[in-house]
Copies of this chain bind each other. A is one copy, B any other.
Amino acid sequence: MPSREANGGEGERDPESFTLKSPLLASSFRSGINSTSQVAIVGANVCPIESLDYEIAENVFFKQDWRSREKLQIFQYTFVKWLLCFLVGGILGLIGFCSNIAVENIAGIKFVVTSNMMLMGRYGMAFLIFSVSNFVLTTFAAIITAFIAPVSAGSGIPEVKAYLNGVDAPGIFTLKTLFVKIVGSLTAVSGSLFIGKAGPMVHTGACIAAWLSQGGSRKYQLTWRWLRYFKNDRDRRDLVTSGSAAGIAAAFRAPVGGLLFALEEMASWWRSALIWRAFFTTAMVALVLRALIDVCESGKCGLFGKGGLIMFDISSSTVVYHLYDVPAVLLLGVVGGLLGSLYNFLLMKVLRIYSLINERGVFWKIFLACIVSIFTSCLLFGLPWLAACRLCPSDAGEACPTIGRSGAASLLGGTMRMTVSLCVILLELTNNLLLLPLMMLVLLVSKTVADAFNGNVYDLIMKAKGFPYLETHVEPYMRQLTVGDVVTGPLQLFNGIEKVKNVVHVLRTTRHNGFPVVDEPPISETPILYGLILRAHLVELLKKKVFLAEPVLTSIDAFEQISAEDFAKRSSGHIVDIDDIELTEAEMDMYIDLHPFTNASPYTVVETMSLGKALTLFRDVGLRHLLVIPKISSRWPVVGILTRHDFMEEHVLALRPNLATGRWKRLRLKLPRFLRIF
């Protein structure tokens, strides 16, 4: 029975084997290397990815910093938190509005000219103008994307969602990305490419949020000292969540929908206070939009409002429906679900082709864009003659607009699987609450149907892009493995007082981001796990050259040149490389006292804990490193470190091939998806 082999010496047959066999057995796997990739496709390029760290690193310096925080500073912190939400909301509302105007004017003019041509019967000319303008716009978008910021290609939602789950891809939140995202999506949409507003707006919102929270841009000399409290991943995560909520709010003018979208689809962590701030942000967006629309009603904004092809303005007479409509609606939901999953399936195929072409280099990308543009133009130009029959799907016994809108809802539901928020967004678009129960029904049915076939489109894309996304769900086989089984080696340790030479060597030869610090005699009677030190902090120490001539314990007063801020998290993706640090031979032979800089209370789990239970801890608390300690205390005080990559299916199955054929794996694969996602 593979499953019992699987959890090796955990020994459900004999309790004693817990304390005696399992460590040995487990250690036989510990030499395995984690084979999961450390890179992912971000936008259109392959980048190295970093994990984010939501753990409170309790080293002496941070403790002192907290202790020294005065009333004023706590006030600053709270004030800035709200100010940032305010700014994110305001700026995003502004951007959303401007891009709308721009698009509606560009596209509007285009359509006006084209249709005039058509009215004059000069169809060829019309098509020429139409397709050429599209071609130019699209090519421009493709060029700036390819040459300035390839990261900003694509929807951006998967990247943001991965970030909120703890995966940081350098460059996704830079000003360059932001600029290209806005201009690019703007021109592409006016080039009548089928591009959703949601993705770009969400990414834009996240960019603004991240950019503001990481203390502005050092590069462009835009920084503010009050923002130093936000130099940690927790506060950034919260603000980025609010930002993505605001993105949806700006895209659909749906504040509550945006909020729910962020909660249901984007956020991996969530607090009541966070709901409130996100809500404040979306409210800001709504207010700004409202205000600007008031300004525009005087008609100063060119074609704005005439087109309305971007900002949906579905207004409907109140529709009353009765129980006998429900079956029709159910049917609709099923159909929508099927279409939705089919859409996702095709989408993945298309994306695969795209990525193949993208690998061929920049010019192919642009070429691809041009092809798509021309194709789209032909399609659009041909469509109107087919469009007539589009309005009313073959569905009996109900007012067409209603069902029609529900003929949108269920498809979206099938595609995105974010029932609740989608429902609210549609509500806020249609401004008709009597339809609510009907819509809920459609969305739920379509989601269920679609889930039976494949996952939500963002998760599919994230998987395809290779982001190590941590699911909340614990797979059955994870309960059969212990952390001791999956933890990989070789383990790199430091002593409490370590030779500079060793530190440099280890940092140069490994890519680990956290190292256990162990005190050995004479510092302590027995080997003691003192804590965990982060690579970033070690690099900082080497840069500051806080070295000792002799291996002695030093009091922290010896480190005036260092403050907690030196250990603050740098802006996303900004890493000081170890190789940039120059050290003399003499310095190499000196020592560092790591104690004051070590997180003295890292989270630990015993090696016999099941992988599933450890995942719960890892995911719920939001860790980057999880130390595994031995069951038998007399042994070496630390067994290994778990990172998010150690919870990935590929890794586990690489260590335990029998699982792939084992009962658990089979079970998991055979089950339709909707039996597994809870």
Taking beta carbons and an 8 Å cutoff, which residues of A are in contact with B? 3-4, 10, 12-16, 18-20, 56, 58, 60, 63-64, 66-67, 69, 71, 74-75, 78, 81, 255-256, 259-260, 263-265, 270-273, 275-277, 279-280, 282-283, 286-287, 290-291, 294, 322-323, 326, 419-420, 423-424, 427-428, 431-434, 436-437, 440-441, 444, 447, 472-473, 476, 479-480, 496, 519, 523-530, 553, 555-556, 593, 595-596, 600-601, 603-606, 608-610, 612-613, 616-617, 620-621, 631-634, 637, 667, 670-671, 674-675, 677-678
Q: Which residues of B contact A81 (CB under 8 A)?
A: 678
Q: A58, B613: Cβ atoms under 8 Å? A: yes
Q: A526 contacts B270, CB within 8 Å?
A: no
Answer whether A526 and B58 are a contact pair too, CB < 8 Å, given A419-B276, A600-B18, A601-B606.
Answer: no
- Across the interface, do A19 and B420 meet the contact criterion of CB distance under 8 Å? no
Q: Hey, which chain B residues are within 8 Å of A264, CB to CB?
A: 272, 275-276
Residue with the highest number of chain B CB atoms closer than 10 Å, among A437, A604, A617: A437
A-B contact pairs, 17 of them (CB 8 A): A13-B555, A14-B553, A15-B596, A18-B595, A20-B524, A74-B476, A74-B671, A81-B678, A273-B472, A283-B437, A286-B436, A286-B437, A287-B441, A427-B433, A431-B434, A529-B633, A604-B605
Pairwise interchain contact A256-B420, C-beta atoms closer than 8 A: yes
CA distance A671 to B273 in the complex (A): 17
**Quick one: which of B19, B256, B678 contacts A423, CB cutoff 8 A?**
B256
Which of A64, A280, A326 has the most B CB atoms < 10 Å from its CB?
Answer: A280
Question: Are A472 and B604 in touch, CB under 8 angstroms?
Answer: no
Complex Cα gap A477–B467 (Å): 38
For A456, the closest partner residue in chain B by CB is B272
A544 to B419, CA, bound (A): 48
Q: Is the CB of A71 within 8 A of B621?
A: no
Can you name 11 extra interface pairs (CB under 8 A) apart from A19-B528, A264-B275, A290-B323? A14-B553, A56-B610, A56-B616, A71-B671, A256-B436, A263-B263, A273-B472, A273-B473, A279-B423, A433-B433, A617-B617
Q: Name the residue on B nearest A282 (C-beta).
A: B440
Which one of B265, B436, B593 lies within 8 Å of A15 (CB-CB)?
Answer: B593
Are A678's CB and B287's CB within 8 A? no
Q: Is the CB of A634 within 8 A of B256?
A: no
A1 and chain B: residue at smallest CB distance:
B67
| Residue in B436, B473, B526, B633 whose beta carbon sits within 8 Å of that of A637 in the complex | B633
- Determine whether the beta carbon of B617 is less than 8 Å from that of A287: no
Residue in B10, B437, B606, B675 whose CB lies within 8 Å of A290: B437
Among B275, B601, B675, the residue within 8 A (CB) of A74 is B675
Chain B residues whose C-beta falls within 8 Å of the C-beta of A553 in the assembled complex: 14-16
Closest to A79 in B: B675
Give the residue name and chain of the B residue nearest to A295 (CB).
B323
**Could you tell me the distance between the alpha carbons of A635 and B675 in the complex, rounded to whole angstroms?**
47
Are B66 and A279 touching (Cβ within 8 A)? no
A440 proximity list for chain B (CB < 8 A) = 255, 279, 282-283, 286
A601 and B595 form a contact (CB under 8 A):
no
Is A270 in contact with B270, judged by CB distance below 8 angstroms?
A: yes
A555 touches B601 (CB 8 A): no
| Beta-carbon contact of A556 and B12 below 8 Å | yes
Q: Point out the residue from B279, B436, B613 that lies within 8 Å of A428, measured CB to CB.
A: B436
Q: Are B530 and A419 in contact (CB under 8 A)?
A: no
Known: A71-B670, A78-B678, A633-B633. A12 touches B255 (CB 8 A): no
| Docked CA distance A459–B601 (Å) | 32
A291 to chain B, nearest CB (A): 5
Report whether B530 and A667 are in contact in the complex, using a CB–CB cutoff of 8 Å.
Answer: no
Q: B616 touching A609 by the CB < 8 A rule? A: no
Provide the bound-state CA to CA distance between A299 and B440, in Å.
28
B283 with A444: CB separation less than 8 A: yes
> Provided the pairs A255-B437, A480-B67 are in contact, do residues A609 and B58 lie with their beta carbons within 8 angstroms?
yes
A564 to chain B, nearest CB (A): 12
Give the docked Cα–Cα distance between A12 and B61 (Å).
8
Contact B15 A496 (CB under 8 A): yes
A633–B287 CB distance below 8 A: no
Residues in B whose Cβ lies below 8 Å from that of A419: 276, 279
Tell me whether A3 and B67 are in contact (CB under 8 A): yes
| Chain B positions within 8 Å of A16 at CB level | 523, 553, 595
C-alpha gap A675/B73 in the complex (Å): 11
Cα distance A265–B276 in the bound complex, in angstroms: 11
Query: A273 contacts B677, CB within 8 Å?
Result: yes
Most buried by B among A67, A287, A527, A637: A67
B60–A12 contact, CB under 8 A? yes
CA distance A601 to B610 in the complex (A): 8
A441 to chain B, nearest CB (A): 6
Whether A15 pairs with B60 at a CB distance below 8 angstroms is: yes
Partner of A19, one of B275, B524, B604: B524
Q: In the complex, are the beta carbons of A609 and B601 less than 8 A apart?
A: yes
> Judging by beta carbons under 8 Å apart, are B63 and A255 in contact?
no
Q: How far is the CA of A447 from the CA of B82 in the complex (A)?
A: 14
B-chain residues with CB within 8 Å of residue A291 when the two chains form the complex: 323
Within 8 Å CB of A294, what residues of B?
322-323
Q: A444 vs B323: C-alpha distance in the bound complex, in angstroms?
A: 38
Task: Choose among B270, B621, B667 the residue that contacts A617 (Cβ–Cβ < 8 A).
Answer: B621
A282 contacts which chain B residues (CB < 8 A)? 440
Chain B CB within 10 Å — which of A326, A423, A632, A678 has the most?
A678
Return chain B residues, CB-CB under 8 Å to A444.
276, 279-280, 283
Q: Which residues of B lie under 8 Å from residue A322 when comparing CB positions? A: 294
**Distance in angstroms between the alpha carbons of A434 and B481 in the assembled complex:** 54
Task: Report if A601-B620 is in contact (Cβ < 8 Å); known contacts: A14-B555, A472-B271.
Answer: no
Across the interface, which residues of B come within 8 angstroms of A631, CB to CB?
A: 528
A48 to chain B: closest CB distance in Å?
28
Return chain B residues, CB-CB under 8 Å to A259. 420
CB–CB B605/A420 < 8 A: no
Complex: chain B residue closest to A63, CB-CB: B12
**Which residues of B lie under 8 Å from residue A434 when comparing CB positions?**
431
User: A3-B67, A480-B67 given as contacts; is B287 within 8 A of A263 (CB)?
Assistant: no
Q: A525 to chain B: which residues have CB within 8 Å?
A: 632, 634
